[in-house]
């Protein structure tokens, strides 16, 4: 049976086993006699064999897969033996003859419940996707460890100093240490909140408590809170007679704080914040945050919204702009990165006005 021949069609339906050629994964099928009755070209390439030569050969011979101990897939999984209630073999990692990792799963076909296996269908998928996922997870762990260690070390250091030298410290020294420890604890809480927001955005479980919100008032609050923690001037301009926006007030503050802090971190001069009508659509208000830094190259302007992306030497968790984009879009707004007149970056977030 030539499995690599053009697909046969009857009333527009692709027939098996030619349909195996259309699968994105490698597929091998054997009959009750443990001999291969179908194999698609992708599986043949993975296993280093010719599709026609594989037909009629034993499944164990064609499925030349080994684990890191040198044992074969057939020997370890015994698909035609074992419990008579088995209907499948879960996904496992195996090595091809050339040493490449693949993810292998199998379906055991039993026409009758608890009856003998009459066919085994094996699926082979490249392990690169899982390797990439493993790298992403490792990056996540490394990022979290680095970001959480710094404030935690500060809190622990000041608390230990207070416990060891309480009688020798003045009230002013105690107050300074406790204030610094409180700031570090707030930073820890914020990092944890960011991680929760990332999880909610990724899973579509983000909840918004929307109500009419004064965008200018929230921008003033953000300016005041950031001005206390940095020597970089943050200049705020609010157009008069602006309507309220339909938004979650806490999320608005979170977004503006992330954008302004990012501008402070990567800029080299005053940061300017402007709140007004969005020129492209007056049914939206826009918050424009401009800095005098090096700017963001056009080729990177989409990448900055990816998780764990960091640019320059300013540090940070790499989650801020990812959360900004997720929260703004959840409100039905947009985030646009451009160039500031005279050099630097400009980030514009837009927010829908309350429907009159």
Q: Which two tokens stand for residue 169?
A: 């410290």
21 touches 29 (CB < 8 A): no
| pLDDT band per the 50, 70, 90 thresholds, residue 149 | confident
- Give DSSP secondary structure letters for 282-295: TTEEEEEEE--SS-
CATH number of 131-203: 1.10.287.130
Contacts of 258 (CB under 8 A, 6+ apart): 320, 321, 323, 324
Q: Could you give the CA distance from residue 303 to residue 310 in angstroms, rounded to a whole number?
A: 10
Q: What is the pLDDT of residues 285-317, one digit of tens each?
A: 999 999 887 777 776 777 777 766 666 544 556
Tell me what pLDDT residue 5 has: 39
Q: Which two tokens stand for residue 172?
A: 């002013």
Residue whose structure tokens are 């409100």: 331
- Local structure of 339: helix, strand or coil: strand
Rounded to the nearest integer, the mean pLDDT of the chain is 84
In this prediction, residues 38-47 reach a mean pLDDT of: 92
| pLDDT band per the 50, 70, 90 thresholds, residue 140 | low
Contacts of 2 (CB under 8 A, 6+ apart): 51, 52
In this prediction, residues 17-28 reach a mean pLDDT of: 82
H-only helix segments in the chain: 41-47, 51-54, 59-62, 73-77, 128-165, 171-203, 215-229, 249-266, 320-330
CATH class for the region spanning 9-126: alpha beta
In this prediction, residues 95-109 reach a mean pLDDT of: 90
Quickly name the fold that domain 211-352 has: Heat Shock Protein 90 (3.30.565)
Q: Which two tokens stand for residue 325?
A: 């984009």
Q: Could you give the CA distance from residue 271 to residue 266 in angstroms, rounded to a whole number?
A: 10
What one-character DSSP code corresponds to residue 72? B
Q: What is the pLDDT of residues 224-237, one digit of tens each?
A: 988 877 888 899 99
Beta bridge partners of 338: 346
Q: Could you give the CA distance from residue 294 to residue 261 in angstroms, rounded to a whole number?
A: 16
Q: Which two tokens stand for residue 111?
A: 């026409």
Read off φ and ψ for residue 30, nearest 5 degrees. -125, 155
| pLDDT band per the 50, 70, 90 thresholds, residue 15 | very low
Q: Which two tokens stand for residue 198?
A: 């990332």
Read off φ and ψ for residue 154, nearest 5 degrees. -65, -45
Tell me what pLDDT residue 14 has: 42
Tell me what pLDDT residue 217 has: 95
106 touches 121 (CB < 8 A): yes
Express as a percent the part of the chain with pLDDT over 70: 87
Contacts of 284 (CB under 8 A, 6+ apart): 277, 278, 333, 350, 351, 352, 353
Tell me what pLDDT residue 1 has: 40
From 118, 98, 102, select the one nearest 110 (Cα to Cα): 118
Tell me what pLDDT residue 308 has: 63
Q: What is the pLDDT of residues 234-270, one digit of tens each?
A: 999 999 999 999 999 999 999 999 899 888 887 778 8
Express as a percent the part of the chain with pLDDT over 90: 41
Domain boundaries along the sequence of the chain? 9-126, 131-203, 211-352
- Out of 108-122, 143-157, 335-349, least confident range: 143-157
In this prediction, residues 207-224 reach a mean pLDDT of: 93
Q: Could you give the CA distance from residue 322 to residue 237 in angstroms, rounded to a whole number?
A: 26
Ramachandran assignment for 343, one of left (phi > 0), alpha (psi -120 to 50 degrees), beta (any other): left
């Amino acid at each position: 049976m030539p499995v690599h021949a053009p697909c046969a069609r009857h009333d527009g339906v692709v027939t098996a086993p030619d349909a195996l050629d259309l699968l994105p994964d490698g597929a091998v099928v054997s009959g009750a006699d443990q001999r291969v009755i179908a194999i698609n070209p992708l599986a043949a390439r993975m296993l280093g064999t010719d599709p026609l030569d594989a037909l009629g050969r034993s499944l164990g011979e064609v499925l030349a897969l080994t684990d890191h101990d040198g044992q074969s897939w057939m020997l370890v999984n015994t698909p035609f033996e074992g419990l008579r209630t088995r209907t499948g073999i879960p996904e496992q990692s195996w090595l091809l003859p050339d040493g490449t990792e693949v993810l292998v799963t199998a379906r055991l076909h039993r026409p009758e419940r608890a009856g003998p296996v009459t066919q085994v269908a094996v699926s082979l998928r490249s392990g690169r996707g899982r390797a990439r996922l493993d790298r992403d997870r490792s990056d996540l762990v490394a990022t979290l460890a680095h970001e959480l260690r710094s404030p935690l070390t500060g809190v622990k250091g000041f608390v230990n100093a207070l416990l060891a030298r309480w009688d020798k410290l003045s009230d002013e020294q105690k107050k300074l240490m406790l204030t610094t420890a409180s700031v570090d604890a707030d930073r820890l809480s914020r990092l944890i909140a960011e991680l929760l927001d990332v999880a909610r955005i990724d899973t579509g479980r983000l909840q918004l408590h929307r109500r009419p919100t004064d965008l200018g008032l929230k921008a003033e609050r953000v300016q005041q809170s950031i001005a206390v923690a940095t020597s970089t001037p943050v200049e705020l301009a609010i157009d008069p007679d602006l309507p309220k926006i339909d938004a979650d007030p806490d999320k608005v503050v979170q977004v503006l704080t992330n954008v302004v802090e990012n501008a402070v971190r990567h800029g080299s001069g005053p940061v300017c914040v402007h709140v007004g009508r969005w020129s492209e659509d007056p049914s939206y208000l826009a918050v424009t945050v401009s800095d005098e830094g090096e700017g963001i190259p056009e080729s990177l302007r989409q990448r900055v919204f990816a998780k764990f992306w960091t640019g320059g030497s300013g540090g940070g968790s790499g989650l801020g702009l990812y959360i900004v984009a997720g929260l703004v879009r959840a409100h039905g707004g947009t985030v646009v990165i451009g160039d500031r007149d005279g050099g630097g970056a400009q980030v514009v977030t837009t927010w829908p006005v309350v429907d009159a």
